[in-house]
Chains A and B, each alone.
Chain A
Amino acid sequence: MIIDSHTHVDLVEAWGWMDPPELMLELMDEAEVDQAIIMTYRDAIGPDDPATLYIQDAVKKYPERFIGYVRINPTAPGAIEALDQAIGDYKMKGLKLHPVSYVGFPYGEPTLRLMRRAAQYNAPVLFHTGDEALALPEQVAEAARLVPEAKVIMAHLGGYYHHEAVLEIADTLPNVLVDTSASPYPWMIKRAVDAFGVERVLYASDGPGCPPILEVEKVRLSGLIPVEQELVFAGNVQRILDGVRHEL
């Protein structure tokens, strides 16, 4: 069983990222991935946002394969309502935040407010985390520290040069998990398991740009034993998804 906990389904002509659901399905089949959590590249700014509806349509079309996360710009006036609709009405399972795309500090009040709301649903908050300003692990960690009730997933294992910063927060922030997506380092997965404990590491591809067939291979090269791989590939994220509430 493999659940890919971070993939994208969206059509954004301006960036040249045209990734319909069927492309993701094709790549999942190639890698024998059973299910994927999907999210857009765009940030929703309120209820009925086209980005959120795009995810909702894909989940409705392929309910056995896709699980939806809503991606929101926390600084938009309709941010809370967008989250309520996505998780309450559309039964989405998490919140995706990309501080670089919405140009806001992870520890700024708009982001914290939305994280607190997600925590009320016990829904995870997946942060793009990497090497660039606004998405540094240290900045995302500060948000996690300020909202300890939120389950924060740091994507990408710290990117190219900030993996040490990710590992360092493992002991002090028990509400932080990490995903393996797009990191170029197989060895970092083992180090993350050693630092965070296997229950706090999730397999993810960041597909379709980073194809699951390659990202799955990275986990297999990482030196984890089979029982650890099972948790990383599916068990851990399934536990988180099962805990999401859809009513306040």
Chain B
Amino acid sequence: MSFDFRVFLGESYDGTSQEVDELLRRMDALSIEMALTCPFRPLSCDLDQANRDLAEEIKDHTDRLIGAVRVDPWQPDAIVSLRNGLEKLGLCALYLNPWEENFRADIERLDKLMEVAAQFNIPVLVATGFPWLSEALQVRTLASRWPNVPVVMTNGGQINISGLGQADVTLAMQQHSNLYIDTAGIYRQDFIEETVEEFGGERVLFASGSPYFDQRYEIKRVQLAKVNENKRRAIISGNACRLLNLENCLDVSETKK
């Protein structure tokens, strides 16, 4: 059982796109059973529409695809958008992208959204590692205010090919047990191994970030990591199921009912 904790569906303002059939074909080729899908930021910047489109796209594949609500915290109705996504569209995570929506990951304006995330017991994914906006220690500040909300830092918590942000990621995770990382595009694969060694296998999640990253290559990061098989299983699927409250990932449609 493999669960890709972050892929994108739809079409981005930057021209990147991925359709559901395309995604499922890729997943089939790699024996990836399930994925958490996030909307791209569309050219219209209308994230409510992007959330509705995502829900529509995945509705016939609920046994394999789960959706995250993407919210722009600057929008006056951001809370309504999140609630609609969770209550009406059946989405079950919150995706925040400080870089593309232009906000700092530690602003208090996010607290209303985090409060909803806490109420619904959903994980919050934060696009992490972007300079000025979502460095690991900024995400830490957000996570510190909401200790009961799992906060997943994407890309191993830093996007820097020197790896100079990794010490901050480790520090943040030492201080707040509700912080997690996903593995998409991670620099220095031994960072996965070291993080698992220090924190156990429960705080690392396999994610490809497809189509920005190559799902074929990204799954190999985890398959080839030098961790024991129990921990690898947790990274590849178990942690995703736990954070998304899917008691039995192999029969998600039943669980969702």
Interface segment among B50-58, B184-192, B238-246: the answer is B184-192
* Residues B162 and A132 in contact, CB atoms below 8 Å apart: yes
Chain B residues with CB under 8 A of A214: 189, 220-221, 224
* Residues A184 and B217 in contact, CB atoms below 8 Å apart: yes
Residue picked from B191, B214, B220, most chain A C-beta under 10 Å: B214
Is A62 in the interface zone, CB < 8 Å from B? no
Interface SS, B side:
loop
* Residues A128 and B162 in contact, CB atoms below 8 Å apart: yes
Q: From A133, which residue of chain B is reached at the shortest CB distance?
A: B131
Is B159 in the interface zone, CB < 8 Å from A? yes
Task: Determine which of B160, B185, B221 lies in contact with A130 in the assembled complex, contact meaning CB atoms within 8 Å.
Answer: B160
Chain A residues with CB under 8 A of B190: 208-209, 211
0/1 per residue, A149-167, Cβ < 8 Å to B? 0000000100111000000
Cα–Cα distance between A214 and B214 once the two chains are bound (Å)? 13
* Residues A160 and B189 in contact, CB atoms below 8 Å apart: no
Shortest CB distance A96–B (Å): 14
* Residues A187 and B214 in contact, CB atoms below 8 Å apart: yes
A-contacting residues, B166-192, CB 8 Å: 167, 185-191
Q: From A19, which residue of chain B is reached at the shortest CB distance?
A: B190
Chain B residues with CB under 8 A of A161: 159
Shortest CB distance B122–A (Å): 28
Is A81 in the interface zone, CB < 8 Å from B? no
A-contacting residues, B132-166, CB 8 Å: 159-164
* Residues A131 and B216 in contact, CB atoms below 8 Å apart: no
Q: Quick one: given A210-B187, A211-B189, are A159 and B161 in contact (CB under 8 Å)?
A: yes
Is B213 in the interface zone, CB < 8 Å from A? yes
> How many A residues have CB within 8 A of the partner chain?
27
Is A110 in the interface zone, CB < 8 Å from B? no
Task: Determine which of A156, A185, A211 lies in contact with B213 in the assembled complex, contact meaning CB atoms within 8 Å.
Answer: A185
Task: Determine which of B160, B187, B191, B217 lies in contact with A221 in the assembled complex, contact meaning CB atoms within 8 Å.
Answer: B217
Cα–Cα distance between A174 and B107 once the two chains are bound (Å)? 47
Shortest CB distance A66–B (Å): 20
B-contacting residues, A126-183, CB 8 Å: 128, 130-132, 135, 156, 159-161, 182-183
Is A1 in the interface zone, CB < 8 Å from B? no
Task: Determine which of B160, B167, B224 lies in contact with A211 in the assembled complex, contact meaning CB atoms within 8 Å.
Answer: B224
Residue picked from A100, A206, A214, most chain B C-beta under 10 Å: A214
Q: From B214, which residue of chain A is reached at the shortest CB distance?
A: A186
Q: Quick one: given A186-B214, A209-B188, A211-B189, are A130 and B220 in contact (CB under 8 Å)?
A: no
Q: Quick one: given A182-B187, A214-B189, are A131 and B217 in contact (CB under 8 Å)?
A: no
Chain A residues with CB under 8 A of B164: 100, 132
Cα–Cα distance between A56 and B121 once the two chains are bound (Å)? 56
Chain B residues with CB under 8 A of A48: none
* Residues B217 and A209 in contact, CB atoms below 8 Å apart: no
Q: From B209, which residue of chain A is reached at the shortest CB distance?
A: A184
Cα–Cα distance between A173 and B216 once the two chains are bound (Å)? 33
Q: Quick one: given A209-B189, A209-B190, A210-B188, are A218 and B162 in contact (CB under 8 Å)?
A: no
Shortest CB distance A188–B (Å): 10
- 6 closest residue pairs by CB, A with B: A209-B188, A130-B161, A184-B185, A159-B161, A160-B159, A156-B161
A-B contact pairs, 8 of them (CB 8 A): A100-B162, A132-B161, A135-B162, A159-B161, A160-B161, A209-B163, A210-B189, A211-B190
